[in-house]
C-alpha cells in the first residue's frame, strides 16, 4: 500500500471529545443539512425573501394603525399590535442573538437552628 498516512496499529486509541464522540466525526457545527439547503434554493428560485416580506407587513400594519382606519381600543387594533410585535420578535432573530432566560435563585445567609435533646437526667448540686 502506498498511503501517506501511517496505519494505526491495533490498540491505538482515537481522540475523543468531552462527550465521548470521536474527533472529526459527524456534520460540522453550524453547517446546513440537505433539507435547509434545498429550501433556501427554492425560496431563491421563487424570488421570495422572508425578511423583506416581514418588513413589508410591519409597514402595512404601521400605516393602518396611524391613518385611523382601525379604531384605537378595538379588538382589531389590539390584534394588529400583537401581530406587529410578533414580526419585530421574528426580525430580531436575524440581527441579534437570543438572550437566555435567567432564573433567579434566592441565596439565604441564615444559619440553621440546632436543637440538642438531652435524655439524661441532670444531677442537682446544692
Mean pLDDT, rounded, for 14-35: 72
DSSP-derived letter for residue 28 is P
pTM assigned to the model: 0.47
Q: Is the pLDDT of residue 11 over 60?
A: no
Domain boundaries, the chain: 48-95
Return the pLDDT at 79.
Answer: 92
Could you give the C-alpha distances from 121 to 66, 88, 118, 126, in angstroms and in order? 86, 75, 8, 16
Q: Is the pLDDT of residue 15 over 80?
A: no
Q: Going along 46-126, which residue ranges are E strands?
A: none
Return the pLDDT at 75.
Answer: 87
Return the pLDDT at 58.
Answer: 92
pLDDT tens per residue across span 67-104: 888 888 888 889 999 999 999 988 888 777 777 777 77
Return the pLDDT at 82.
Answer: 93
Q: Is the pLDDT of residue 4 over 90?
A: no
Return the pLDDT at 59.
Answer: 93
For residues 16 and 26, give the distance between their C-alpha atoms in angstroms, rounded to a whole number: 13
Amino acid at each position: 500500500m502506498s498511503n501517506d498516512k501511517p496505519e494505526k496499529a491495533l490498540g491505538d486509541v482515537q481522540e475523543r471529545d468531552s462527550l465521548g464522540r470521536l474527533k472529526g466525526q459527524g456534520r460540522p457545527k453550524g453547517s446546513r443539512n440537505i433539507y435547509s439547503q434545498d429550501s433556501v434554493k427554492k425560496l431563491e428560485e421563487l424570488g421570495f425573501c422572508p425578511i423583506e416580506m416581514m418588513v413589508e407587513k410591519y409597514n402595512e400594519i404601521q400605516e393602518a394603525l396611524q391613518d385611523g382606519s382601525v379604531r384605537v381600543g378595538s379588538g382589531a387594533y389590539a390584534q394588529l399590535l400583537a401581530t406587529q410585535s410578533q414580526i419585530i420578535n421574528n426580525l430580531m432573530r436575524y440581527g441579534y442573538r437570543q438572550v437566555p432566560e435567567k432564573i433567579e435563585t434566592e441565596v439565604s445567609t441564615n444559619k440553621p437552628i440546632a436543637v440538642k435533646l438531652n435524655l439524661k437526667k441532670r444531677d442537682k448540686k446544692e
